[in-house]
Structure 1
């Protein structure tokens, strides 16, 4: 194989890897809004647990 062909293949592969890395970075950024959904979900769980837990009866002291 000629060195020029090998170099051209190397450059093509490097460009492909850079494009894949950029696509992965953009996909990771797109997933970040799910963080808000998770926080909201846990807040709803906390509210549900507070509603489902019976309130303690007051202690009468004479």
Structure 2
């Protein structure tokens, strides 16, 4: 394939991918209100933090009789 044809096809494909990404971003923004997303994000990170604290909590010492 001639290099100029290859480059032209590359530019066309890159433009198509950018258009798809823009369409996806617009659809995602319309699908979920911003306030709900913020709440879900904060709740998710809070659960991650709780899980990490539980995983790192010192284990209770057992007495050996």
Mapping of residues 12-27 of structure 1, within 5 Å: 12-27=12-27
Q: How many pairs align?
A: 35
> Any unmatched runs of 5+ in structure 2?
37-65
- Stretches of structure 1 lacking an aligned partner (at least 5 in a row): 37-62
Instruction: Name segments (4+ residues, structure 1) moved above 4 Å.
Output: none
**TM-score with structure 2 setting the length:** 0.50
Q: What's the TM-score, normalizing by structure 1?
A: 0.52
**Which of these two proteins has the greater Rg computed from alpha carbons?**
1
CA RMSD, aligned part only? 1.5
In the TM superposition, residue 32 of structure 1 has moved relative to its aligned partner by 1.4
